[in-house]
Structure 1
Amino acid sequence: MQTSIKPGQVWLDTKGERIHAHGGSVITVDGVHYWYGENKEFSAPGSGIWHWGVRCYSSTDLYNWEDRGLIIPPVEDDEDSPLHPTQLVDRPHIIHNAETNKFVAWLKIMTKGSLQRSTVLTADHILGPYEIVRTWLKPLDMSAGDFDLVVDPHDGKGYYYFERVHSEMICADLTTDYTDVTGYYSTHFPQPQPPFVREAPAHLYRNRLHYLLTSGTTGYYPNPSEAAVSRSYHGPFEVLGDLHPTDESRTSFHSQISSVFTHPDKKDLYIAIADRWLPRYLDHGARAHDAFVGHFAPGKDGDEPMEEFADVDTTIADYVWLPIRFDGDRPVIEWRDEWTIEEFD
């Protein structure tokens, strides 16, 4: 039995096996927490397998997680399916639609070149089964990368934050069933190219303020995170700076945030859920960031492979869960070797 959260350490489920919920999020349904994400158990270098579906775990304490299996399994017999194991499925997000009583899942699917599109599925229960309702969706006719889905707690309206690939951040209104976009959108944080483009958006709502936590675009290598704040979903956003100001390595404690979990039973507990994709590279943050800046410098081919990425083994990626504290209205994440939910009111 686990009685605490230990960021960066190997996290095992109740059967003693490594948890595979990468690029993940937590949703609470009827008092039970469900942690879901990319299943990378077979994604060793050279395997040709990017993912093996979306896996889900359940818990009542956020420490001990029971494996509930693949809620979105891979499609093994159709190479053209967006769910085939060779397709680059990333960062699933699931929200509940109170009007339709459906759970709606969006998946980012990367293909050759820089084209990134979405697949949308729905289910009657958080654990599925999920049925595809849209494939190869190009929202707003844009290549859509890392994203977050948000439901307004007051009126139930849905919003979709996504990286317009290698360009800027978009906030788009969702349709009433959450399976598409309406066409209304706003643009934020324009940048000329990676690694400066913001990706991995994670939305947080507190005291009538909207926060977006993002990272730079440096592949699996970590980089300094950034927080921005606004009074509305569509901005304008004020950039507040690095979320991890005490991290001398400038790597967000060697992690990348995938989502923020707002604890439903605590007054002010917001948990940054992050992946440590490269646990073997803890001493190379600054070198990796500098290498990426050089790699994407003007005149370089952005698709040129880097030898440093050839042996990335996501089967051993770990997790860094840390509470967010607020210095006034500014979010700050500080390192803790170990912490408990019970520390918070």
Structure 2
Amino acid sequence: MIKIIYSILCCLFFISCTKEYYFQPGEVWPDNHGVHINAHGGGILYDNGVYYWFGEHKVEGSIGNTAQVGVHCYSSTDLYKWKDEGIALSVAPEGSGSDIEKGCVLERPKVIYNANTRKYIMWFHLEPKGMGYSGAKSGVAVSEKPTGPYQFIHSFRPNAGHWPMNVLDIHITRPVPSSGEQFSGGSLPAPPDSLNLLGRDMKGGQMARDMNLFVDDDGKAYHIYSSEENSTLHISLLSDDYTRYVGKYKRLFVGRHMEAAAMFKRKGKYYLIMSGCTGWEPNAARSAVADAPFGEWKELGNPCKGKDAEWTFYSQSCYVLPVQGCNDCYIYMGDRWCPKNPIDGRYVWLPIQFEGDSFIIEWKDRWSLETL
């Protein structure tokens, strides 16, 4: 009997050690408690052999489109199995008057590590409670540990009082519209330069909505975000401690209405994947390449190929993950939004393939890292 039990245990151990894991885009993705991962619009931090996934914690019903809890964190060593690490950044109680009071809009949190200060820095798109999407601010929080707790330190609009590197004379000389005049995030009555949205917001700071972070090999960090009523992307250099702007930034894709930008680097080239502005509805992804973050960006078109490529496989980009220890391996991370019940939003992770200086993304029902 003892030998039989020992044999059964050995078999179970062997099966557990040889179990194959897969990514299944768009399916429910359970954590270590068997609960669907709650980290929407997220990003990944790799630190000391561990991946940390940060994202918006959603709740049931339409109220879930506002921040009711905060930013959730999960950890993994293999990218398949994720451990719930709890809430990394909690929203402040109602009535507190905090910019991140419960009921605010807190979107697309990203975390980077600062080797000089030895702190973990979280940035996110913030709309203070009751302001709709007119606040268009950046929020910053800091922690001593990757899992938190993160302490909210400040929020602001980018680069107040500074013109971009590629400012035009018309921005400086043309009259500006009223600071109270707002436009739709998906369209404008005229091109952004003729409206002089840049000049309108120069003194108080430029708008910042959908955002991402990128740390280059030299340690310099950049903030990429939708600005000028979502009509134009901006990329800004961050301070050495990664908690503020230094006034150096550039406008990209003027009037193209880009959002959901994610930047990554491969073989000396810098890449962006983005989406158009169609609210919660999916659209065709867009991509671009440059030789430097502040370089000349060339659009490459929709990187998605095959069935449902025109809808980015019913997802929207949120991050591109370089896989550690794997040569030339990158993963597209996207969200399938579910605005009527946000907690049921799904994740679409797909491998990225390269063709010359461009890249492509193809749908796969199931895939593993061995595919890369």
TM-score, with length taken from structure 1: 0.85
Distance 2:285 2:20 in 1: 29
Contact 1:275 1:319 in 2 (8 A): yes
User: Aligned pair 1:156/2:219, yes or no?
Assistant: yes
Please report how far the alpha carbon of residue 160 of structure 1 lies from its aligned counterpart in structure 2 after TM superposition: 1.0
Aligned to 2:45: 27
User: Aligned pair 1:337/2:368, yes or no?
Assistant: no
Q: Unmatched 5+ residue regions in structure 1?
A: 279-310
Helix, strand or coil for the counterpart of 1:266?
coil
Please report how far the alpha carbon of residue 48 of structure 1 lies from its aligned counterpart in structure 2 after TM superposition: 7.8
Helix, strand or coil for the counterpart of 1:214?
strand
Relative distance call for 1:46 and 1:178 in structure 2 (3 A) is: closer
Q: Unmatched 5+ residue regions in structure 2?
A: 1-18, 161-204
Total equivalences in the alignment: 306
- CA deviations on 1:67-94 (whole Å, 9 max, x unpaired) are 0100101212335323223101100011
- CA deviations on 1:174-207 (whole Å, 9 max, x unpaired) are 011111110011111111xxxx500011001001
- CA deviations on 1:141-162 (whole Å, 9 max, x unpaired) are 0111111111112x21111111
User: Aligned pair 1:166/2:184, yes or no?
Assistant: no
- CA deviations on 1:14-55 (whole Å, 9 max, x unpaired) are 111111000011111110111110000x24125685442100
User: Aligned pair 1:232/2:299, yes or no?
Assistant: no
Aligned to 2:88: 71
User: Aligned pair 1:320/2:348, yes or no?
Assistant: yes
Please report how far the alpha carbon of residue 171 of structure 1 lies from its aligned counterpart in structure 2 after TM superposition: 1.0
- CA deviations on 1:117-171 (whole Å, 9 max, x unpaired) are 0111111111112112213444440111111111112x21111111113220111
**Residue number among 236, 253, 264 corresponding to 2:313 in the alignment:** 253
**Residue number among 237, 240, 250 corresponding to 1:176 in the alignment:** 240
Please report how far the alpha carbon of residue 222 of structure 1 lies from its aligned counterpart in structure 2 after TM superposition: 0.7
Distance 1:255 1:232 in 2: 28
Relative distance call for 1:95 and 1:48 in structure 2 (3 A) is: closer
Contact 1:326 1:332 in 2 (8 A): yes
Please report how far the alpha carbon of residue 338 of structure 1 lies from its aligned counterpart in structure 2 after TM superposition: 0.6
Distance 1:49 1:246 in 2: 34
Aligned to 2:171: none
Amino acid at match of 2:62: P
Distance 1:113 1:53 in 2: 18
User: Aligned pair 1:200/2:245, yes or no?
Assistant: no
Contact 1:173 1:183 in 2 (8 A): yes
Alignment of structure 1 residues 212-291 onto 2, 5 Å: 212-248=272-308, 250-278=310-338
Please report how far the alpha carbon of residue 341 of structure 1 lies from its aligned counterpart in structure 2 after TM superposition: 1.1
User: Aligned pair 1:88/2:105, yes or no?
Assistant: yes
Helix, strand or coil for the counterpart of 1:253?
helix
Contact 1:122 1:132 in 2 (8 A): yes
- Range with bigger deviation, 230-239 or 107-116: 107-116
Helix, strand or coil for the counterpart of 1:25?
strand
Distance 2:31 2:294 in 1: 38
Aligned to 2:210: 146
Contact 1:27 1:33 in 2 (8 A): yes
Aligned to 2:147: 127
Contact 2:124 2:211 in 1 (8 A): no
Please report how far the alpha carbon of residue 249 of structure 1 lies from its aligned counterpart in structure 2 after TM superposition: 5.7
Contact 2:64 2:343 in 1 (8 A): no
Aligned to 1:290: none
Relative distance call for 1:71 and 1:13 in structure 2 (3 A) is: same
Aligned to 1:55: 72
User: Aligned pair 1:14/2:78, yes or no?
Assistant: no
Distance 2:113 2:25 in 1: 28
* Residue identity (%): 34
| Greater share of helix | 2
User: Aligned pair 1:107/2:124, yes or no?
Assistant: yes
RMSD: 1.7
Helix, strand or coil for the counterpart of 2:278?
coil
Helix, strand or coil for the counterpart of 1:250?
helix
Higher Cα radius of gyration: 2
Distance 1:321 1:48 in 2: 22
TM-score, with length taken from structure 2: 0.79
